[in-house]
Amino acid sequence: MRTLRFLLQKEFRQIFRDRSILPMIFLMPTIQLLILPQAADFDVRSITLAVVDQDHSTYSRQLVSKVLATGYFHLTGMETSYQAALRYVEQDRADLILQIPAGFERKLVRENAQSLFVAIDAINGSKASIGGSYLTSIIGDFNNQIRFKWTGQMPSLLDIVYSHWYNPTKNYKNYMVPGILVLLLTLVGGFLSALNIVREKEIGTIEQINVTPIRKWEFILGKLIPFWVLGLVVFTLGLTIARFVYGIIPLGSIPLLYLFAGVYLIAILGFGLLISTYSQTQLQAMFVAFFFIMIFTLMSGLFTSTDSMPFWARVLSFLTPVTHFIEVVRMIVLKGSTFAEVRNQFGYLVLFAVFLNGWAILNYRKTS
Amino acid sequence: MIRVEQLSKTYGDVRAVREVSFAVERGELFGLIGPDGAGKTSLIRILTTLLRADSGTATVGGYDVVTDYRAIRNTVGYMPGRFSLYQDLSIEENLHFFATLFGTTVRENYAVIRPIYEQIEPFKKRRAGQLSGGMKQKLALCCALVHQPTVLFLDEPTTGVDVVSRKEFWDMLGLLKSQGMTILVSTPYMDEASLCDRIALIQEGKILSVDTPAAIPGQYRGILLAVRADEIYALLKDLRALPWLKSCYAFGESIHCTVGQPADAARLREALTGHSNLEVKEIPASIEDCFIQLMNP
Do residues B205 and B230 both lie within one domain? no
Interface test with B, best of A6, A11, A209, A211 (most B CBs within 10 A): A211
Do residues B192 and B285 both lie within one domain? no
Which chain A residue's Cα is nearest to B86?
A205
Do residues B208 and B222 both lie within one domain? no
CATH 3.40.1710.10 region(s) of chain A?
47-151
CA distance B107 to chain A (A): 16
- Cβ count within 10 A of residue A293: 23
Do residues B114 and B186 both lie within one domain? yes
Do residues B47 and B182 both lie within one domain? yes
Number of domains in chain B: 2
Secondary structure (3-state) at B224: strand
pLDDT on residue A178: 87
CA distance A7 to chain B (A): 8
pLDDT on residue A16: 87
Picking from A165, A167, A187, A169, the residue whose alpha carbon sits closest to that of residue A33 is A187
Phi, psi of A10 (to 5 degrees): -65, -45
**What contacts B243, CB < 8 A, 6 or more positions away?**
none
Mind giving me the DSSP string for A249-292? --SS-HHHHHHHHHHHHHHHHHHHHHHHHH-SSHHHHHHHHHHH
A208 chain-B contacts, CB cut-off 8 A: 78, 80, 84-85, 98, 143
Q: Give the span between the Cα atoms of A258 and A246, in whole angstroms.
A: 20
Least trusted range by pLDDT, from A31-40, A155-164, A334-343, B69-78: A155-164
Decide: B181 and B27 in contact? Cβ < 8 Å: yes
Q: What is the CA radius of gyration of chain A?
A: 28
Of B73, B74, B100, the CB nearest to A6: B100
**What contacts A77, CB < 8 A, 6 or more positions away?**
A50, A51, A84, A85, A88, A93, A94
pLDDT on residue B94: 92
Domain C-terminal end among B147, B181, B213 = B213
Q: Is the pLDDT of residue A270 over 90?
A: yes
Do residues B172 and B256 both lie within one domain? no
Instruction: Name the class of domain A47-151.
Output: alpha beta
> Element (H or E) spanning B18, and its range?
strand B14-24
Q: Is the pLDDT of residue A355 over 80?
A: yes
The parent domain of residue B31 ranges over: 2-213
Do residues B156 and B247 both lie within one domain? no
Of A96 and B297, the one with more pLDDT: A96
Decide: A262 and A228 in contact? Cβ < 8 Å: yes
**What contacts A319, CB < 8 A, 6 or more positions away?**
none
pLDDT on residue A3: 84
CA distance A193 to chain B (A): 17
pLDDT band at A123 (very low <50, low <70, confident <90, very high): confident
**What contacts B233, CB < 8 A, 6 or more positions away?**
none
Q: What is the CA radius of gyration of chain B?
A: 23
pLDDT band at A284 (very low <50, low <70, confident <90, very high): very high
Exposure letters B130-161 (e unless 16+ CB within 10 A, then b): ebeebbbbbbbbbbbbbbbbebbbbbbbbbeb
Alpha helices in chain A (DSSP H): 2-17, 21-39, 58-69, 82-90, 104-111, 125-151, 172-186, 193-203, 205-210, 216-245, 254-278, 282-299, 311-318, 321-330, 339-363
Domain C-terminal end among B181, B213, B245 = B213
Decide: B47 and B65 in contact? Cβ < 8 Å: yes
Decide: B58 and B2 in contact? Cβ < 8 Å: yes
Picking from B44, B37, B50, the residue whose alpha carbon sits closest to that of residue B22 is B44
pLDDT on residue A160: 75
Q: Give the span between the Cα atoms of B13 and B10, in whole angstroms.
A: 7
Which chain A residue's Cα is nearest to B79?
A208
Please indicate whether, in this complex, the C-beta atoms of A367 and B50 are within 8 angstroms of each other.
Answer: yes
Secondary structure (3-state) at A163: coil
pLDDT on residue A263: 95
Please indicate whether, in this complex, the C-beta atoms of A208 and B80 are within 8 angstroms of each other.
Answer: yes
Secondary structure (3-state) at A113: coil
A206 chain-B contacts, CB cut-off 8 A: 84
Q: Rounded to 10 degrees, what is the CA torsion of B210, B215, B218, B221? A: 10
Decide: A41 and A172 in contact? Cβ < 8 Å: yes
Do residues B223 and B175 both lie within one domain? no
pLDDT band at A157 (very low <50, low <70, confident <90, very high): low
Which chain A residue's Cα is nearest to B76?
A211
Do residues B86 and B115 both lie within one domain? yes
Q: Give the span between the Cα atoms of A273 and A275, in whole angstroms.
A: 5
Residues of chain B with pLDDT below 70 are 297
pLDDT on residue B297: 65
Q: Give the span between the Cα atoms of A21 and A315, in whole angstroms.
A: 35
Domain C-terminal end among B163, B181, B213 = B213
Q: Give the span between the Cα atoms of B34 and B192, in whole angstroms.
A: 11
Q: Is the pLDDT of residue A184 over 90?
A: no
Decide: B22 and B4 in contact? Cβ < 8 Å: yes
Q: Tell me what percent of the residues of chain A surpass a pLDDT of 90.
A: 20
Task: Give this complex's ipTM.
Answer: 0.74
pLDDT band at A87 (very low <50, low <70, confident <90, very high): confident
pLDDT on residue A15: 87
- Cβ count within 10 A of residue A97: 22
Decide: A346 and A329 in contact? Cβ < 8 Å: no
- Cβ count within 10 A of residue B16: 23
The one-letter amino acid at A187: L
Do residues B105 and B144 both lie within one domain? yes
Tell me the CB-side half-sphere exposure of residue B207, using CA atoms within 13 A.
19
Give the domain CATH number at B10. 3.40.50.300
> Element (H or E) spanning B225, and its range?
strand B223-228
CA distance A226 to chain B (A): 17
Give the domain CATH number at B264. 3.30.70
**What contacts B11, CB < 8 A, 6 or more positions away?**
none
B101 and chain A in contact, CB less than 8 A: yes
Q: Is the pLDDT of residue A107 over 90?
A: no
Please indicate whether, in this complex, the C-beta atoms of A211 and B74 are within 8 angstroms of each other.
Answer: no
pLDDT on residue B30: 93
Query: How large is the average pLDDT for residues A198-223?
Result: 87
B117 and chain A in contact, CB less than 8 A: no
pLDDT one-digit tens code per residue, A288-337: 999 998 888 888 888 777 788 888 888 888 999 999 999 999 899 888 88
Interface test with A, best of B84, B91, B130, B184 (most A CBs within 10 A): B84
